Amino acid sequence: MKTLFIKNAKNIITMDENRTEYPGGSMYVVGQEIKAIGYDLPCESADIVIDARGKIVYPGLINTHHHLYQTFTRNIPWVQNVELFDWLIALYDIWRHLRPEDVYLSAVVGLGELLKSGCTTSADHFYVFPNGVSGELIDEEIRAAREIGIRFYPTRGSMSLGRSKGGLPPDEIVQPEDVILRDTMRIIETYHDPSKYSMLRVGVAPCSPFSVSKDLLRESADLARSYGVRMHTHLAETIDEEDFCREKLGMRPFELMEETGWVGEDVWYAHGIWFDDKEIAKLGACGCGVAHCPSSNMKMASGTMRIMDMLQAGVKVGFGVDGSASNDSSNLLLDLKIMNLLHNLQHGTTALSAEDCLSIATRGSAKVLGWEDAIGSLEVGKAADMFMIDTNRLEFAGALFNDTALPILAGTPTVDMTIVGGQIVVDKGRLVNIDEESFAMRAQKAAERMLETALEHTKVNYKKPRIRNSAILT
């Protein structure tokens, strides 16, 4: 196995239980595993030696919720200034034209942006399977992740409740439940690797309470537990979702989860904004995790997660960028800054520090994914997943007083180097394994083709400009 030696770091921020730091420290890695951290490590004969003088080393950020396919529907004019249900209805008309190559290219772009912002492990929730298109779409995301070099946790999503059955999505992008369950089994059996330093784990992820049936939720839970894989879904994201569940099912969204077996240590939800006091207490008691996606929630005006109440109740809280269409970015460092500012505003300036936000995006996310034995901190025996920033960059001048908070509070949200499993995948701010410009051109052409196809087929003239609240702007 190849060896890696990082020496003379300005600081190593471990984010271990004690938040230990090693100013001027070094690190020795064999294969994927960190073998030593500290001082006076005699490892100059390593295969790769990195002189990290002037650089701060951080544990890799962990993204617990994303929709990579949405990378091709960023900055679409007519889905700005709308809330979740209207946003989804408009975008379904575009997503129904996804092709396998679109899924691959959008994953390369999204995962590449994640790596360049310090992310080393990313989950993804893929649930759109248009009629007449190959069902093996998650395979395209997996291909992209392997090529780009990120640790990946795709979850096989699903929608079975189309509009003809009272759901929100159009029938053209939902699947029969037997097809969903059969392909979920295929994905798990083909790709899931539960080993400690796995580069690929798989989860089961029906989309949301308004797009799947109770039967699919129950059968998906049974299937996931029979294979020993984790479970993920959207929950309590908007008040519209709560109203839908009350009207259609006669219960709150979390009650639906309890009734269908979607509660336990092996479950994590995305968003979790509208939980009440009793539900937050239950979340802490049962071990469920929640992915906090602040930028998406702010953009969609969905609300603000009660993060302090959750942390006090012992809820496992991780971090996520959410889909690029509701964020317009896949930049975890940028979202960490937004998270810190949001909760300063909501809970006061002493509630959640920048260091606390970093802990949630590392240790917290690792716990949500059930992977804390290998990722989430820089410690002997864990994976060599990390990012570095060069403190000699102009934007850090005058800010070198708190190494842990530095990339969250100051500078541009990009990193100088990212290492995953001991392998350098970003160097000098550039992706190592792909030609960025070539993929950017291919991806933009594919996105334009998908949007043009959607406009040709839809009956709504989305190209017409829509002026909102013009009176207050004149």
Angle made by CA atoms 122, 125, 130, in degrees to the nearest 5: 140
- What integer pLDDT is reported at residue 474 of this predicted model? 38
d(CA 335, CA 337): 5
Is residue 463 scored above 80 in pLDDT? Answer: no
Percentage of residues in the chain having pLDDT higher than 70: 97
- Among candidate residues 271, 245, 269, the one with its CA nearest the CA of residue 326: 271
Is residue 470 scored above 60 in pLDDT? Answer: no
Regarding whether 356 and 237 lie in a shared domain, the answer is yes
The larger pLDDT score, comparing residue 160 to residue 463, is at: 160
Residue 463 lies in a domain: no
Regarding whether 398 and 365 lie in a shared domain, the answer is no
- Among candidate residues 186, 183, 203, the one with its CA nearest the CA of residue 194: 203
- What integer pLDDT is reported at residue 472 of this predicted model? 42
Assign 465 a pLDDT band (cuts: 50, 70, 90).
very low
- What integer pLDDT is reported at residue 468 of this predicted model? 47
Is residue 466 scored above 50 in pLDDT? Answer: no
Residue 235 lies in a domain: yes
d(CA 361, CA 123): 13
Regarding whether 356 and 326 lie in a shared domain, the answer is yes
- What integer pLDDT is reported at residue 348 of this predicted model? 94
Residue 197 lies in a domain: yes
pLDDT tens digit string along 183-211?
999 999 999 999 999 999 999 999 999 99
pLDDT tens digit string along 91-122?
999 999 999 999 999 999 999 999 999 999 99
Regarding whether 407 and 347 lie in a shared domain, the answer is no
Regarding whether 82 and 229 lie in a shared domain, the answer is yes
Residue 410 lies in a domain: yes
Residue 107 lies in a domain: yes
Is residue 471 scored above 80 in pLDDT? Answer: no
Regarding whether 169 and 35 lie in a shared domain, the answer is no
Residue 329 lies in a domain: yes
The CATH number of residue 397's host domain is 2.30.40.10
Domain count, the chain: 2
Residue 37 lies in a domain: yes
d(CA 346, CA 355): 17
φ/ψ (deg, to 5) at 432:
-85, -35
Q: Domain span at residue 82?
A: 61-369
pLDDT tens digit string along 123-159?
999 999 999 887 799 999 999 999 999 999 999 999 9
The total of other beta-carbon atoms located within 10 Å of residue 457's CB is 11
Q: What is the pTM of this model?
A: 0.95
Regarding whether 397 and 324 lie in a shared domain, the answer is no
The CATH number of residue 162's host domain is 3.20.20.140
d(CA 474, CA 469): 10
- What integer pLDDT is reported at residue 380 of this predicted model? 98
Regarding whether 307 and 276 lie in a shared domain, the answer is yes
User: What is the overall mean pLDDT for the chain?
Assistant: 94
Regarding whether 355 and 252 lie in a shared domain, the answer is yes
